[in-house]
């Protein structure tokens, strides 16, 4: 296994991880921003006010994007399994 192979596999793994985590993190960021603006406007500083909407938003995002997330991960794992014979030889 050459260093180029290791780096390409690492790049592919990071690319898949970012593409899967990106939408969830983006939704959490947007919900947190909206809640922070609401808290600043109303001067309500309750911790659960920011936690529960983020939790619900992430849950809804995972439910909606679940099939795409699973497909992305399965495709990546299948490509890894297809590369195994070339890595051993």
Instruction: Write down the pLDDT at residue 67.
Output: 96
Q: Predicted confidence band at 86 (pLDDT cuts at 50, 70, 90)?
A: confident
Q: Where are the domains of the chain?
A: 3-88
What is the pLDDT at residue 44? 83
Burial-class residue 20 by CB neighbours within 10 Å (0-12, 13-18, 19+). Answer: middle
Q: Round to whole Å and give the CA distance between 49 and 42.
A: 12
Q: CB neighbours of 60 closer than 8 A, spacing ≥ 6?
A: none
Higher local confidence (pLDDT), 49 or 42? 42
Residue whose entry in the numeric block shows the structure tokens 């390409």: 8
pLDDT of residue 89: 67
pLDDT bin (cut points 50, 70, 90) of residue 43 is confident
């Amino acid at each position: 296994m050459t260093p180029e192979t290791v780096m390409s596999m690492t790049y592919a793994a990071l690319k898949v991880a970012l593409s899967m985590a990106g939408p969830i993190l983006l939704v959490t960021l947007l919900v947190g921003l909206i809640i922070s603006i609401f808290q600043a406007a109303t001067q309500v500083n309750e911790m659960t006010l920011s936690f529960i909407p983020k939790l619900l938003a992430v849950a809804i995002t995972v439910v909606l994007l679940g099939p795409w997330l699973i497909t992305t991960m399965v495709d990546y794992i299948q490509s890894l399994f297809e590369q195994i014979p070339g890595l051993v030889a």
